[in-house]
A = this chain, B = another copy of it.
Amino acid sequence: MTPEPEGYKKVSEENPKHIQANPYGPNPSDYLSNVSNFQLIESTLREGEQFANSFFTTEKKLEIAKALDDFGVDYIELTSPVASEQSRADCEAICKLGLKAKILTHIRCHMDDAKVAVETGVDGVDVVIGTSQFLRQYSHGKDMSYITNQAIEVIEFVKSKGIEIRFSSEDSFRSDLVDLLNIYRTVDKIGVNRVGIADTVGCANPRQVYELVRTLKTVVHCDIECHFHNDTGCSIANAYTALEGGARLIDVSVLGIGERNGITPLGGLMARMIAADREYVLSKYKLHKLRDLETLVADAVQVNIPFNNPITGFCAFTHKAGIHAKAILANPSTYEILKPSDFGLTRYIHFANRLTGWNAIKSRVDQLNLHLTDTQCKEVTAKIKRLGDIRPLNIDDVDSIIKDFHADVTTPALRPAEGGDVEEAHLDAIKKRKL
């Protein structure tokens, strides 16, 4: 079902039996995989509100909710209406927008909270309780039977209101496995819509995630949702591996904003998933809106888009080394797994530097509509590299060198006796400019 990304066909024709259509697509041995059937729970307005710099006004929340809905997220999760009067009013206001996305709110596993939540107009309630020894000892101080009884009461109450209910443990990867499986089986039997696994402290690694999800999959019939913090940099990989193991829903936020350094970022996960199943991702999500969505949230919380952000970071589609530039010009798939055009972006070949290869320069010569032989292109490239050792060259510099060279070789009468003089003169001219 997955279409071959551009560039694959050529190779397949050459050697069709040895090329898998998409070698980094869903692993066929993962028969429970939801890599091609996942959903997003977008939590910028819940987890993201816990980010140090977040202070969303009501207007900003409505704007973000609409933008998320337009992007195509499946669920929008909001801060508990119990957190403050304003949180409650904002939750009600977003429910009244009539978005396509389902609206959830995230509450503690308490009847007090549940009673407020079900009156806000949400489509579902996400309850969470800490099951790890750490949280049981230092946070709420409850034992497992107390937790279980409280969960049953809350779940049955929310279900009686005819809305969705998710039960999640907190700090799942430091919880006792038997405790976890017991409570998940119990809530599954009561009929929750999904159970959640949460790497609250960002400690989990991908193979642990896969094993826990696969194990849980044998215990419950409902969907599995996963929430990964990014303290140790694995939140995107953990999300992907969870889907491979059979989880269905991933919690994300725009730019990953959340407690500490945040959770799985929406954009980064889109990069991961489109590499695996481009057709599914493009059918569900408006990727060309990603940049605007990230800018909206970055401005609201007063941060910059990280320079190395997947997809939208300023260098995500920039190629510098000569050897890369050559191949990219021949076929973008050689060094690009993502197509910038899928995201409404363009590729940039960086050729004004000492690592430049002559292929990149030849491409620029063609763009300038000049005519040089390959030998001439190599000659001008050598000049550019020598100059690139002395100072950073910008595009204007390179264009200027190419044009001078072209004028030089196409009007031999003007050429000085020694070719070096032209270069020297140009070098002098460049040195004289302000660095």
Contact = CB atoms under 8 A, between A and B. Distances in A.
Interface of A: 7, 10-11, 14-15, 18-19, 23-24, 27, 49-53, 55, 79, 83-87, 108, 133-135, 137-139, 171, 173-174, 176, 200-208, 210, 230-234, 236-238, 240-241, 244, 255-257, 259-262, 265, 268-269, 271-272, 275-276, 303-304, 306-310, 313-321, 323-324, 326-327, 330-331, 333-338, 348, 350, 353-355, 385-386, 388-389, 392
Nearest to A18: B176
A124 to B, nearest CB: 21
16 contacts: A24-B174, A51-B320, A83-B385, A84-B354, A139-B326, A200-B335, A201-B335, A202-B337, A206-B237, A207-B244, A232-B338, A233-B269, A233-B272, A259-B319, A259-B324, A262-B315
Given A24-B173, A201-B335, A261-B309, A138 B330 contact: yes
A215 B412 CA distance: 60
A305 B322 CA distance: 27
A421 B207 CA distance: 57
A205 B386 contact: no
A219 to B, nearest CB: 19
Contacts of A171: 334
Contacts of A11: 133-134, 137
B23 A173 contact: yes
Contact of A313 (B7, B86, B261): B261
A200 B328 CA distance: 13
A323 B238 CA distance: 25
Given A268-B233, A272-B234, A386-B85, A337 B50 contact: no
Nearest to A312: B261
Contact of A308 (B201, B240, B262, B336): B262
Contacts of A318: 52, 260
Question: Of residues A86, A269, A348, which shows the largest number of chain B Cβ atoms within 10 Å of its Cβ?
Answer: A86
A308 B173 contact: no
Contacts of A50: 320-321, 324, 355
Given A52-B320, A236-B237, A262-B315, 9 more contacts: A50-B324, A83-B355, A86-B354, A138-B330, A232-B272, A233-B272, A261-B308, A304-B304, A306-B308
B260 A315 contact: yes
Nearest to A176: B18
Nearest to A316: B261
Nearest to A128: B323
Contact of A231 (B230, B259, B327, B337): B337
Nearest to A200: B335
A5 to B, nearest CB: 10
A314 to B, nearest CB: 7
B327 A138 contact: yes
Contact of A24 (B14, B19, B27, B203): B203
A24 B272 contact: no
Given A139-B327, A392-B55, A261 B320 contact: no
A18 B175 CA distance: 10
A396 B319 CA distance: 47
B234 A240 contact: yes
Nearest to A328: B138
A392 B323 CA distance: 51
B304 A335 contact: no
A306 B386 CA distance: 33
